[in-house]
Structure 1
Amino acid sequence: MVRRVLVLGAGRVAGPCIAHLAKREDVEVHAADRDPSRLEALRFPRVVPRLCGDLSDPGSLVRELRPEVVVNLLPAPTMASVAHACLEARAHMVNASYIKDPLSRLDGAVREAGLLFLCEMGLDPGIDHMAACRTVGEIHRRGGKVAAFWSACGALPDRSSDTNPLGYKLSWSPRDLLGVCRREARFLRDGKETVLPGGEPFRHATLVEVEGLGWFEEYANADSLPYRERYGIPEVRDLYRCTLRYPGWSELVRYLLDLGWFEEGERDLRGRSLWDLTAERVGDAPQEGRKGAAARRLGCPVWAAALAVLEWLGVFSDAPCPLERGSLRDVLERVFLEKLSFLPGEQDLVVLQHRFAVEYPDGRKPETWVSTLVDRGTEGEETSIARTTGLPAAMGTELILEGLALRGVHAPVAPEVFVPALELLAARGLRFLETVLPGRKVPGR
């Protein structure tokens, strides 16, 4: 019997997912996208391309096809509508987005319908959850307690393709990138909750070394607190999840925030230059020059490296705004697209590392358990971020097709999900290096 799977979205992330599923002779993959060039690139057997002029209501296609599983790789705002359509069509769902309301409120209805909505099946979230839960289980099995948990993830250009002064290139949507730059962060420090308001994490960035790769900058990422319960570590005293970048990124973002470049109010931009928008915050600069005026406004020396990067971005230039109407954030998004895109043949890099400070109630000496995943894009083929995001979704779909009994709305923190999924990912080359070090070597805050 042929099993029907519908994949919504045929962009870069979808490629590895669809390619993996198409290898199964018992599966017919329907791939939906509004871009015909994306569909034409899917030259795999048993793949049915479906050109959709409007994916604002992807649920209509779900109701039409009534597949066994829907893999939703569209942006997060579509999750609720697709979920309701899956309920109506009695289809399981897999996605790579965080579980948030109203999706989380559907858990009872999904269970009652005998379905599984397996969410957060990407890299971060996704592989990070699965690897953390596996290690926590092993620590507890050996009689240990997790005193501290530190998790870092970064999607970056490989050093061989690090060709701009920011040390960053776009492996995901610039709109989403700029959006997360303004969210608050929460984490545990010595058992107490610490909150950094939106934009503040960049003022608390520190340096961290990843063995074999060198030094990175890290800053707190979103809300770490739910992971004490999710990962089954009620004993943890320090719990911190962060994002990795090459050094200098946080200072640049702080300056862009201070100069107003994340403002979202729409305005008329006709006849305005990039400097015109920057000058609204720094004022005229007839004597000290534009960089000097910005330095005065930001309280930094005119020779600061981040100011040179801002100059390279063009925010002190007379270049015309790329939009006739929009917000400063819309303009910055266009600037990032122009300046920070990967070129053909360039490689990206994914780094994911967990560190666990382990204590033993029986008096054994404390240890630090380290799990590290390093993956690079395949030059001229698929990017690492596409592979590490698309393959987990494919593995989740496979588990459902193979009879996974879990029901309801779930992240991949149950052993019946993460054990086989990590084995499948390892078979595709996504393996963690596991090391145990003496003493406590988890970065402190």
Structure 2
Amino acid sequence: MGKKSILILGAGRSSSALISYLLEKANNGNWHVTVGDFFEQAAKDRVGSSGNGTAIRFNIEEEEASAQAIQAADIVISLLPAAFHPRVAKLCLYHKKHLFTASYISDEMKSFHEEAKQKDLLFMNECGLDPGIDHMTAMEVMDRIRDEGGKMISFESFAGGLIAPTTDPSNPWRYKFTWNPRNIVIAGQGTAKFIQEGQYKFIPYQQLFQRTTYVHIPGYGDFEGYANRDSLKYISNYKLDDVKTMLRGTLRNKGFCSAWNILGQLGCTDDSYPMERVDQMTHREFLNTFLPYDKVMMLEDKLMNRFKLDQDGPEMERLRWSGLFEREPIGLNSGTPAQVLEHILNKKWKLEPTDKDMVVMWHRFIYSMKGETREIQSHLVALGDDSIQTAMAKGVGLPLAIGTRLFIEGKIKDRGVAMPLSKEVYRPILDELRHFGISMQERNVVDEQA
């Protein structure tokens, strides 16, 4: 068999572990890795001195060059923003190339299923951390429950990318950007849909960060979680047609959501229109544009009045620490509110070289077995090494890398648009992830209470 060519699109925050793994195993695996990024130097930095890798400039807007790069590959791994995946997928269909991503399956991506299947192509999506490891660890337990004769009643799952407890102790948010900042700023927009105790629930964006739930992670304490956009679509994927509760959500440290709710309620996370005079605006003026004019009342007073806040309360502390009250120029020529907010927050929320991030995941399974109702809780905590080899990069990149290796070795038979839900896919990926210190710890809650 000739040497395979793997094309990785994107050399950003989440790419380090993926690229390192595939370069390291290239000789034994008999493949070559090409890394493409809009900034060619970023791709070169990721490839380093490896003789098994090549760095190129890649811009999806340059159609001819994009087509040539994809045509030269056997497998494409896209770490581009999710909005670009369908364009990559169309080129993969045309040139008959396999595709792996860590992103949610959009309706457009789903529409490629039959054609990909007919062409004997695999378009593996949702094979990162969240989505990805969450699916695989959930299916591992649920398949075991069903194989033993049990029936699922309820499933809840929360995950989040945070900073390690020892990182930046003065940061009251306990948060920094560990993956695409834009996705974080606009997260939660759109109505969250889930089912709880047999009742369908819908939470509009303006209520999302007010309706949180607490999740306890042994050894790390309590976190707060808010609902993801669409938990309902996973009912059929997980084979949970009769389930009473199905809820997937995002974890943050306690206190995050009440402060973020203020920014959302003001309109700072709106990405639908460009703001005027951004190039002449300070941080303080940006925040003030979303509050009523008052020739006497200061910005802080208007905020406290509008949201019933205490001057020394946790919400004001977080906003103050973020620099939002400063008279510092924003430093952007133009932008939507969300883009401006991202730019301001990045000044404080950017990982410093020695910072370590933390990935947290938690599942709760309630099921019936032999006439009894039982409960399993499982959790995962992974810490990053530094600002490059982050827990987020490992969580996103390693499942993609392992899945790609398994596919090249002929161990994944799925075709069409797929997710890592079958035993042949999730078992070997999870087994190898354990060697990297990424694994769920299970506890049987019924036994604990007995």
Calculate the TM-score normalised by the size of structure 2.
Answer: 0.92
> Structure 1 residues 381 and 308, CA, compared in 2 at 3 Å: closer, same or farther?
closer
Amino acid at match of 1:292: D
CA distance in 1, matches of 2:154, 2:447: 12
- Structure 1: gaps spanning 5 or more residues: none
Write out per-residue CA displacement over residues 181-239 of structure 1, whole angstroms, 9 at most, x where no aligned residue. Answer: 32321111111210101242201013221111111111111111111111112231011
Matched with 1:94 is 100
Is residue 428 of structure 2 the alignment partner of residue 420 of structure 1?
yes
Q: Is the 8 A contact 1:184 1:200 kept in 2?
A: no
Superposed counterparts of 1:23-38, under 5 Å: 23-25=25-27, 26-38=30-42
Percent sequence identity is 30
> Tell me, what secondary structure is at the counterpart of 2:425?
helix
- What is the CA RMSD across the aligned residues, in angstroms? 2.1
> Cα distance, 1:53 vs. partner?
5.7
Write out per-residue CA displacement over residues 348-379 of structure 1, whole angstroms, 9 at most, x where no aligned residue. Answer: 0001111101222x32x322112222110013
Over 6 Å off, 4+ runs: none
Is residue 374 of structure 2 the alignment partner of residue 373 of structure 1?
no
Matched with 1:51 is 56
341-350 vs 181-190, greater mean Cα deviation: 181-190
Superposed counterparts of 1:381-396, under 5 Å: 382-396=389-403
Q: Is the 8 A contact 1:274 1:316 kept in 2?
A: yes
CA distance in 2, matches of 1:234, 1:283: 49
CA distance in 2, matches of 1:382, 1:228: 34
Is residue 322 of structure 2 the alignment partner of residue 313 of structure 1?
yes
> Cα distance, 1:285 vs. partner?
5.5
Is residue 307 of structure 2 the alignment partner of residue 298 of structure 1?
yes
CA distance in 2, matches of 1:402, 1:55: 29
Amino acid at match of 1:409: V
Q: Is the 8 A contact 2:4 2:74 kept in 1?
A: yes
CA distance in 2, matches of 1:381, 1:7: 17
Write out per-residue CA displacement over residues 389-414 of structure 1, whole angstroms, 9 at most, x where no aligned residue. Answer: 00111111112101122111001112
> Tell me, what secondary structure is at the counterpart of 1:359?
strand
Matched with 1:161 is 167
Superposed counterparts of 1:222-371, under 5 Å: 222-264=229-271, 265-266=273-274, 267-284=276-293, 289-360=298-369, 362-363=370-371, 365-371=372-378
> Tell me, what secondary structure is at the counterpart of 2:350?
coil
Amino acid at match of 1:210: I
> Structure 1 residues 244 and 256, CA, compared in 2 at 3 Å: closer, same or farther?
same
Matched with 1:405 is 413
> Structure 1 residues 388 and 37, CA, compared in 2 at 3 Å: closer, same or farther?
same
> Tell me, what secondary structure is at the counterpart of 2:444?
strand
303-312 vs 145-154, greater mean Cα deviation: 303-312
Q: Is the 8 A contact 2:13 2:388 kept in 1?
A: no
> Structure 1 residues 283 and 309, CA, compared in 2 at 3 Å: closer, same or farther?
same
> Structure 1 residues 105 and 435, CA, compared in 2 at 3 Å: closer, same or farther?
same
Q: Is the 8 A contact 1:87 1:110 kept in 2?
A: yes
CA distance in 2, matches of 1:326, 1:18: 32
Is residue 41 of structure 2 the alignment partner of residue 18 of structure 1?
no
Amino acid at match of 2:317: A
Calculate the TM-score normalised by the size of structure 1.
Answer: 0.93
CA distance in 1, matches of 2:62, 2:141: 40
Amino acid at match of 1:122: G
2:44 to 13, 35, 40: 40
Question: May I ask how many residue pairs the two structures share in their alignment?
Answer: 439
> Structure 1 residues 412 and 207, CA, compared in 2 at 3 Å: closer, same or farther?
same
CA distance in 2, matches of 1:145, 1:75: 38
32-41 vs 400-409, greater mean Cα deviation: 32-41
Q: Is the 8 A contact 1:208 1:216 kept in 2?
A: yes
> Structure 1 residues 57 and 133, CA, compared in 2 at 3 Å: closer, same or farther?
farther
- Structure 2: gaps spanning 5 or more residues: none
> Structure 1 residues 339 and 231, CA, compared in 2 at 3 Å: closer, same or farther?
same
CA distance in 1, matches of 2:448, 2:120: 45
> Tell me, what secondary structure is at the counterpart of 2:243?
coil
CA distance in 2, matches of 1:212, 1:226: 32
257-266 vs 19-28, greater mean Cα deviation: 257-266
Q: Is the 8 A contact 2:58 2:65 kept in 1?
A: no
